């Protein structure tokens, strides 16, 4: 499955599970991405290593353990971005390639940031 197919699959799954029955504002959608980052940070605050994956039982999905940890939360960030991109018809693959190519030409530590 290539990236475009994966994005379509992610969005179809979100639609099938009712996440687009009552569309949210663009701001709310972006904050849902931020909330996934917050959940990743909570994993670290709870003492889990950034690379640690673990699994929990979910009574709603027996025999299908739920992935947990920072890697899973980062996956949720990407999944939300893919879903939003598909909903709005944004070619996120093209945008990533364009931005990466632009970033390659930027000066060292551009923007005056210390670290």
Give residue limits of the domains in the chain: 3-46+73-107
pTM: 0.89
Measured CA to CA, the distance from residue 49 to residue 66 in angstroms comes to 18
Q: Supply the pLDDT for residue 107.
A: 87
Measured CA to CA, the distance from residue 75 to residue 78 in angstroms comes to 5
- Residue 89 zone, left/alpha/beta (φ > 0; ψ -120 to 50; rest): left
- Residue 109 zone, left/alpha/beta (φ > 0; ψ -120 to 50; rest): left
Residue-wise pLDDT for 24-83, tens only, equals 999 999 999 999 999 999 999 999 999 999 999 988 888 999 999 999 999 999 999 999
Residue-wise pLDDT for 79-106, tens only, equals 999 999 999 999 999 999 999 999 999 9
User: Above 70 in pLDDT, residue 6?
Assistant: yes
């Amino acid at each position: 499955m290539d990236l475009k197919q994966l994005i379509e699959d992610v969005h179809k799954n979100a639609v099938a599970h009712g996440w687009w029955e009552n569309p949210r504002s663009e701001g709310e959608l972006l904050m849902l991405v931020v909330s996934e980052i917050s959940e990743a940070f909570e994993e670290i605050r709870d003492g889990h290593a950034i690379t640690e994956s673990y699994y929990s039982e979910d009574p709603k999905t027996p025999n299908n353990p739920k992935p947990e940890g920072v890697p899973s939360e980062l996956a949720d960030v990407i999944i939300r971005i893919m879903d939003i991109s598909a909903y709005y018809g944004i070619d996120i693959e093209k945008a990533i390639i364009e931005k990466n190519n632009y970033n390659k030409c930027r000066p060292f530590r551009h923007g005056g940031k210390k670290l």
